Amino acid sequence: FGSSPWARTRCSPVQAASPRLGRGRQYSAARLARMSYETADSQKEEFRKYLEKNGIIAHLTRVLVSLYEEPERPANAIDYIKKYLGAPTGVDVEELRAENEELKRQNLELEEKVEGLVKQLQELQADKEEG
């Protein structure tokens, strides 16, 4: 069970949830509920720490304050937030992916052509040195 909340109890989630199966332990419904809340709370706290550590909370706060301080509310708040965060707007992602694939294909063809030309040049130089 690795890093799961049940790893500490050395029993499965089913055993941990069952008042009779938990390796001989009997849990009251209140204890099971408290364990569930503790797990959920610890996961929320861990996620909150992750967001804070990576500066996400501060950045989102700046975005929301900026939106709040706008004299006129934008028609589309999501586009405003995307623009504030620097995301491109009005871009067709599928078109960009197709273009990227085409450019990769062309690049591969050109690399193969260069490789062939280099071999041809080496052969010509070897022939010249022999002759």
Which ranges of 5-92 would DSSP assign to H, the alpha helix?
13-17, 29-53, 56-69, 77-85
Contact 83, 89 (CB under 8 A): yes
Does 118 or 90 have the greater pLDDT score?
118
pTM for the full predicted model: 0.42
Tens-digit pLDDT profile for residues 52-88: 999 999 999 999 999 999 999 999 998 899 888 887 7
Contact 15, 23 (CB under 8 A): yes
User: Does the pLDDT of residue 122 top 80, yes or no?
Assistant: yes
User: Does the pLDDT of residue 117 top 90, yes or no?
Assistant: yes
Residues 6+ apart with CB under 8 A from 20: 26
Q: What are phi and psi of 22, to 5 degrees?
A: -70, 65
pLDDT of the residue at 104: 97
Buried b or exposed e, range 110-124, using 16+ CB within 10 angstroms: eeeeeeeeeeeeeee
pLDDT of the residue at 116: 97
User: Does the pLDDT of residue 112 top 70, yes or no?
Assistant: yes
pLDDT of the residue at 22: 46
